Amino acid sequence: MPERAAASASERAAPASETVDLAPETVATASETADSASETGDPAAGGEPARRTARRTGRLVTLVLGGLTATPPLAMDMYLPALPEVTRSLHAPAATVQLTLTACLAGMALGQLVVGPMSDRWGRRRPLLAGLAVYVVATALCAAAPTVEALVALRLAQGLAGAAGIVIARAVVRDLYDGVAMARFFSTLMLISGVAPIVAPLIGGQILRVTDWRGVFAVLTVVGAVLAAVVWLRLPETLPAAARGVPPAGTEPKARGRRDGGVGAALRAMRGLLADLPFTGYLLTGGFAFAALFAYISASPFVIQDIYGASPQTFSLLFGLNSVGLVVVGQINGKLLVGRVSLDRVLAVGLTITVFAASALLLMTLGAFGRVGLAPVAAALFVLMSAMGLTLPNAQSLALLRTRHAAGSAAALLGSSSFLIGAIASPLVGVAGEHTAAPMAVVQLAGALAATACFAGMCRPWRARTGGRNGNRLPSDEPEDKRAEDMSAKTARAE
């Protein structure tokens, strides 16, 4: 990116123990892996050895950010097979043990609102390392929890600390990439976050063959410690000192001139972001689409096994197949569509497919086509889940394209809103009991329609095609000479 390429030496003079600088060619060539050298600089300037080094650095950053993205699903889903054993071991009712999941989810949602603004004020590395340290300690204490009440409290702490990985991973992507490269990188993260829920229960089940539920938390502790060490040694600081604490556009001139931290600065940054109507529109679009996803996760075990009589093995197969569909479509989005088709158009297609799939599912569950078996319902769920590979990464990318100086706060709002809206939607799938799939389909359709309404009414994607403000277009959508002119202007401002 031009800003990174033009960063002054003084901005990159932090102590080595605290900041590891990204060389300009490293950032540019990391984006080259997404075929976006036009937005990120000229990777050829350093020669072939520099390009090879930069590619290795880009892959390492990808693996680290992927590990941070995979940590929450691992913490949630690796523990699922152990729930019955926890109930017996701690002599607690199942409903109370379920609170350990709710506490972890709530912690992840609320923690992002705290850590995101912190990363805008103090940089990415320090809040991330602090969060990982607390995560490791909390996870280790979970393994030694004497009562279910202590386990619930520690799971809350684990979620609060683990939120650092979610929100800062998004913020780092925004720091390093722009336009097409950012959208493609989010598709890569979608691949990781889609695979993690598939393999996590399998890993948890294998761990339970050799140890008890406490061993699951012991393994999670080791994974967290290894990830913290890799971040400490290898993840660079991606937010220059000069860019920290700068409120986003839309805030008052006085506030934009201050670089103070604290709750007031965080609230001002978030207020400025939410004042941007398209940003809020993309935030709500992704949040309501996530509600449809959460409805599927919450209700599908009961729908597929109890209502349609499938075995647990069949359910696991269908769940994995749907996750594979999401991952494959996400990679098609990142590798083939992004850069060739505008993100708004791809997002619109994803939302349309989601609405049609949810409508078909609702009609089937209400008996509009007579009595249907598992196959048509599973097909509708597969189409709906696959469409998330078009919807979620592009909604996040388009929202983050609206901001640069408050990427941490923006990522916090995106993550927290998705978790909170999903958490509200999840209990609604059981309002009519466990013997009908209609509530799940209603919640999914309502979420898809709400997402579509927010996208059309607040983001107004047609503005870029009718000469409106160029807020939703990618750099690659502009003429080459216009991009060069903008890059020159940005470089001059950075200098």
With 0.75 as the threshold, say if the pTM is over it.
no
3-state SS track over the chain: CHHHHCCCHHHHCCCCCCCCCCCHHHHHHHHHCCCCHHHHCCHHHHHHHHHHHHHHHHHHHHHHHHHHHHHHHHHHHCCHHHHHHHHHHCCCCHHHHHHHHHHHHHHHHHHHHHHHHHHHHHCCHHHHHHHHHHHHHHHHHHHCCCCHHHHHHHHHHHHHHHHHHHHHHHHHHHHHCCHHHHHHHHHHHHHHHHHHHHHHHHHHHHHHHHCCHHHHHHHHHHHHHHHHHHHHHHCCCCCCHHHCCCCCCCCCHHHHHCCCCHHHHHHHHHHHHHCCHHHHHHHHHHHHHHHHHHHHHHHHHHHHHHHCCCCHHHHHHHHHHHHHHHHHHHHHHHHHHECCECHHHHHHHHHHHHHHHHHHHHHHHCCECECCCHHHHHHHHHHHHHHHHHHHHHHHHHHHCCCCCCHHHHHHHHHHHHHHHHHHHHHHHHCCCCCCCHHHHHHHHHHHHHHHHHHHHHHCHHHCCCCCCCCCCCHHHCCHHHHHHHHHHHHHHHC
Q: Encoding tokens for residue 355? A: 């609405």
Count of alpha carbons within 13 angstroms of residue 490, beta-carbon side: 18
Handedness of CA 71, 378, 455, 338 (dihedral sign): positive
Angle between helices 312-332 and 374-400 (to 10 degrees): 40
Inter-CA distances, 373 with 295, 298, 370, 433, Å: 20, 20, 10, 20
Q: What is the chain's pLDDT, residue by residue, as a tens digit (495 residues)? A: 444 444 443 333 333 334 334 433 334 333 443 344 333 444 444 455 545 544 555 677 778 888 888 887 788 778 777 777 888 899 888 778 878 877 887 888 888 888 888 888 888 899 999 999 999 999 999 999 999 999 999 999 999 999 898 889 888 888 888 777 777 787 777 667 667 766 777 788 788 888 889 999 999 999 999 999 999 988 888 888 877 765 555 444 444 444 445 556 667 778 888 888 999 999 999 999 988 988 887 777 778 877 888 887 787 788 778 888 888 898 898 888 888 888 899 999 999 999 999 999 999 999 888 888 899 999 999 999 999 989 988 998 898 888 766 777 887 888 888 878 877 777 777 776 667 888 889 999 999 999 999 999 998 887 654 444 444 444 444 443 343 334 334 333 433
- Report the DSSP beta bridge partners of residue 368: 370
Length of the chain: 495
For residues 103 and 494, what is the distance between their CA atoms, to the nearest angstrom?
43
For residues 133 and 209, what is the distance between their CA atoms, to the nearest angstrom?
29
Q: Are 133 and 228 in contact (CB under 8 A)?
A: yes
For residues 199 and 313, what is the distance between their CA atoms, to the nearest angstrom?
14
Q: What would you report as the CA-atom Rg of the chain, rounded to the nearest whole angstrom?
A: 23
